[in-house]
A = this chain, B = another copy of it.
Amino acid sequence: MTAVIAGLYVCSDSTSFVSERRPTVTVVPNGFEGDKHATWTRAADSRAKSYPRGTTIWNSRQLSIVSEEELAEIAAALSLPDITPEQLGANICTRGLPALTHLASGTQLLVGDVGLYVTALNKPCINPGKVIEAQHPDIPNLANRFVKAAHDRRGVVAVVERPGTIREGAAITLVAPASPLQPGVARDPA
């Protein structure tokens, strides 16, 4: 199955968590043009446990990527008809990468001329849960249940390695990070 870009999204409103769909996006050196996460640095938050909250650190979360397949799994776990990339504030939704969240850090996603570098899996936070809960006021405790259901299904975050343009429907090529020989593997004599 070929992996493709199922949807592209930009969050241009700095006061909102939700992103908006676009048929095409311009990728600048630190994110999607016009997206509030397109910065070189950010303030450490609860996800950056190695640093005091508020410390200025490298922004390794320029882009948030989710997969259609994992969103369907989250929705099924919550008995909801769907969970959308917009609700999660995602920038890219993929189709054909059912275990997107399991990609190792250092994996490259090549889309046309654009290169993205996966920095980490994305840990679920309560914010999209609140968005989803507000849209389904009849279902109790949805925000907290979202966090649990989204664990290991929340996709990955990435940085831009090579800027360019991405269009919906474009094919995605994965490049795994280089791995060393395992310890104990015989070497050729030098």
* Interface residues of A, Cβ cutoff 8 Å to B: 29, 40-41, 44, 50-51, 55-58, 60, 77-78, 99, 101-102, 104-106, 108, 110, 115, 117, 119-121, 123, 145-146, 148-149, 151-152, 159-162, 175, 177-181, 183, 187-190
Query: Quick check: B50 and A160 within 8 Å, CB to CB?
Result: no
Known: A29-B41, A105-B104, A190-B145. A51 touches B180 (CB 8 A): no
Contact A106 B120 (CB under 8 A): yes
From the candidates B120, B151, B160, name the one contacting A177 in the complex (CB within 8 A): B120
CB-CB < 8 A to A151: which residues of B?
Answer: 181, 187
CA distance A189 to B148 in the complex (A): 8
- A-B contacts, 20 listed (Cβ < 8 Å): A40-B40, A50-B108, A50-B175, A56-B162, A57-B115, A57-B161, A58-B161, A60-B117, A77-B190, A104-B105, A105-B105, A105-B106, A105-B177, A106-B120, A121-B179, A145-B190, A148-B188, A148-B190, A149-B190, A152-B181
